[in-house]
Amino acid sequence: MIAIVDYKMGNLRSVENALKRMGAEFVVTADAEQIRRADRVLLPGVGNAAEAMENLRSAGLVDVIRSLRRPVLGICVGMQVMCRCSEEGDVDCLGIFDARVKRFVPGLEVKVPHMGWNSIGNLESKLFKGIEGGEYVYFVHSYYPELCPDTIATTTHGKMFSAALKYENFYGTQFHPEKSGDVGERIIANFLKL
Amino acid sequence: MVAKRIIPCLDVKDGRTVKGVNFVDLRDVGDAVELGQYYARGGADELVYLDISATREGRNTFTRLVERIADGINIPFTVGGGISSLDDAARLLDAGADKISINSAAIANPELINQIASRYGSQFVVVAIDAKCGDDGIWRATTHGGSRFTDLELFAWAREAEQRGAGEILFTSMNHDGTRKGYPCDTFARLAEELTIPIIASGGAGSVADIAQVLTEGRADAALAASIFHFGEITVGELKSELKQMNICVR
């Protein structure tokens, strides 16, 4: 069973719909026991990283997430809270990935938020099996995880950042695979097969 | 580099898409989900669904339709038309919309932008501006399809919308809309200069060259179009491959 963690960080519907389209069974839950028992855990999230950390704390899920041994996929803010810390609300995060989350500095060709389709490269994980470097995925964010030893995909928006991270059984994508067309569905399918 | 986006816009009335010819490989051009999937397969980067229903029943039908669109489409989509409160926005978010577009409601009540953005995030809020350049050479926001001027100067209003939390600006020149003579690229470029959020260009495209120009000289991040796609003049795929040949970064 797949568990989608419901910690009140935005709408989970697009992730649910993607799993439905793929015929996968899932539960939407904030229950620690159900999350611990799940074969796969998805941690989506749209919004503010500090609020996301606060919500995980008040749901009693901080140590639960950290202690998971089966594949976990954080998406967008769900990935950012798995990093070391975030400039958004100046908050300490779960510290699973060794990256800090920083704010984009707007510039001539650097719109903030970074919104739309951008290409991913330097792909280094089974998560990207069957996907070529240069494929486009959909991003919407104003904060990014810096490059670090856990980086398994990169994207450039003004500067190069981590489009995806991996540490042991933990995975994270800054982009939204559930909104990234066929490429995104392939990435989710790969995650489910890990 | 983030790709320039091509966004087909679909008008929906009482739950059915209107306008458009029958594409050969499409069973029902009036089915919003099927038409959306057709565009998505063809390389559309996002979709915009605009509810032009005038009745409450039509609006309710639209909400149910948004649920079906969210179930069936794997790229982002924006919904607009008749959104005038936080409740409207919440209803469409719950139905699965990725973004909502607000226009006259934001002019009537600018605080609505703050309310929606602080509740659901800036990425959820597109502020649409229909502006017209008057005889005095000043661009002002209009309502009612360009027939009524407001006292809001375009650039000031766009900056205010950004400060209040808009995640994108969808700008239509009512001087150009429907003319098929291209976009006011200087005006778009100045908007890009003054804002840090992405700008979607709408209204006026008659050719690939027009779209290419607004994405380069006009510095727009995305181009939204309806009739050139719906009437089968060019497919999204053909447009994008022509843009690519002009060295414009597209997916």
Helix (H, G, I), strand (E, B) or coil at A30: coil
The tokens describing A113, both together, are 């938020």
The tokens describing A28, both together, are 């939407």
B110 pLDDT exceeds 70? yes
**ipTM score assigned to the predicted complex:** 0.91
Q: What is the pLDDT of residue B116?
A: 95
Contact A103/B at CB under 8 A: no
Sheet holding A91-92, edge to edge: A91-92, A85-86, A100-103, A143-145
Look at residues B75, B220, A182, B193 and name the one whose alpha carbon lies nearest to residue B243. B220
| Predicted confidence band of residue B27 (pLDDT cuts 50, 70, 90) | low
Q: What is the pLDDT of residues A119-136, one digit of tens each?
A: 999 999 999 999 999 999
Which chain B residue lies closest to A108 (C-alpha atoms)? B193
A27 pLDDT exceeds 90? yes
Whether the link from the prior residue into A113 is cis, omega within 30° of 0, is: yes
Which residue in this structure is represented by tokens 């330097």?
A122
DSSP strand pairing (B125-133 vs B99-102): parallel
The domains located in chain A, with CATH, are 2-193 (3.40.50.880)
Q: What is the pLDDT of residues B145-192, one digit of tens each?
A: 788 899 999 999 999 999 999 999 999 999 998 888 899 999 999 999
Closest Cβ–Cβ partner in B98, B197, B222 for A179:
B98
A141 Cβ neighbours under 8 A, 6+ residues apart: A76, A77, A113, A114, A174, B123
Contact by Cβ (8 Å): B128, B103 = yes
The domains located in chain B, with CATH, are 5-245 (3.20.20.70)
Contact B168/A at CB under 8 A: yes
B140 pLDDT exceeds 90? yes
Q: What is the pLDDT of residue A75?
A: 97
- The DSSP string of B6-44 is EEEEEEEETTEE-S-PPPTT-S-TT-HHHHHHHHHHTT-
Q: Where are the beta strands (DSSP E) in chain B?
A: 5-13, 16-17, 47-51, 77-80, 99-102, 125-133, 139-143, 148-153, 168-173, 199-202, 222-225
Q: What is the pLDDT of residue B21?
A: 64
Q: What is the pLDDT of residues B83-92, one digit of tens each?
A: 999 999 999 9
Pairwise CA distance, residues A180 & B74, whole Å: 7
- Does A21 sit within 8 Å of B3, measured CB to CB? no
- Does B222 sit within 8 Å of A14, measured CB to CB? no
Contact A117/B at CB under 8 A: yes
- Residue A117 class from Cβ within 10 Å (0-12 exposed, 13-18 middle, 19+ buried)? buried
Q: Work out the angle at residue A4's Cα, subtended by the Cα atoms of residues B75 and B98, and round it to the nearest 5 degrees.
A: 30
Q: Which helix (H) or strand (E) holds B63?
A: helix B56-72
Look at residues B146, B190, B215, B245 and name the one whose alpha carbon lies nearest to residue B7. B215
Q: Spell out which residues of chain B touch residue A181, defining contact as CB-CB under 8 Å.
A: 40, 74-75
H-type helices in chain A, by residue range? 13-21, 32-37, 49-58, 62-67, 77-80, 181-193
The amino acid occupying position B47 is: L
Helix B86-95 crosses helix B111-120 at what angle (to 10 degrees)?
30
- Does B221 sit within 8 Å of A21, measured CB to CB? no
Q: What is the pLDDT of residue B25?
A: 64
Average pLDDT score over residue span B112-125:
93
| Predicted confidence band of residue B24 (pLDDT cuts 50, 70, 90) | low
Which chain A residue lies closest to B193 (C-alpha atoms)? A108
Pairwise CA distance, residues A139 & B142, whole Å: 32
pTM of the predicted model, to two decimals?
Answer: 0.94
Mutate which of A46, A110, A117 to test chain B, going by most B C-beta atoms within 10 A? A117
Mutate which of B38, B73, B74 to test chain A, going by most A C-beta atoms within 10 A? B74
From the CB of residue B147, how many other CB atoms can be counted at a distance below 10 Å? 10
A55 pLDDT exceeds 90? yes
Look at residues B118, B85, B78 and name the one whose alpha carbon lies nearest to residue B100. B78
Mutate which of B1, B2, B91, B126 to test chain A, going by most A C-beta atoms within 10 A? B2
Which pairs with CB-CB distance under 8 Å and at least 24 residues apart come from B79-83? B79/B48, B79/B49, B79/B50, B79/B51, B80/B48, B80/B49, B80/B50, B80/B51, B80/B126, B80/B128, B81/B12, B81/B50, B81/B51, B81/B52, B81/B53, B82/B51, B82/B53
Q: Spell out which residues of chain B touch residue A111, defining contact as CB-CB under 8 Å.
A: 2, 196-198, 221
Question: Active site residue: A33, A54, A76, A148, which one?
Answer: A76
Contact by Cβ (8 Å): A31, A6 = no
Pairwise CA distance, residues A176 & A137, whole Å: 7
The amino acid occupying position B49 is: Y
Interfacial B residues in 14-43 facing A (CB < 8 Å): 40
Which chain B residue lies closest to A114 (C-alpha atoms)? B2
CB-defined contacts A:B, below 8 A: 90
Q: What is the pLDDT of residues A93-128, one digit of tens each?
A: 999 999 999 999 988 789 999 999 999 999 999 999
Q: What is the DSSP letter of A133?
A: T
| Predicted confidence band of residue B23 (pLDDT cuts 50, 70, 90) | low
Pairwise CA distance, residues A40 & A43, whole Å: 10
Average pLDDT, chain A: 96
Which residue in this structure is represented by tokens 């919004």?
A47
Pairwise CA distance, residues B33 & B68, whole Å: 7
Helix (H, G, I), strand (E, B) or coil at A157: strand
Q: Spell out which residues of chain B touch residue A175, defining contact as CB-CB under 8 Å.
A: none
**CA dihedral over B29, B31, B34, B35, signed as positive or negative:** positive
Average pLDDT score over residue span A1-21:
92
From the CB of residue B249, how many other CB atoms can be counted at a distance below 10 Å? 15
Annotation marks residue A76 as catalytic: yes
A20 pLDDT exceeds 90? yes
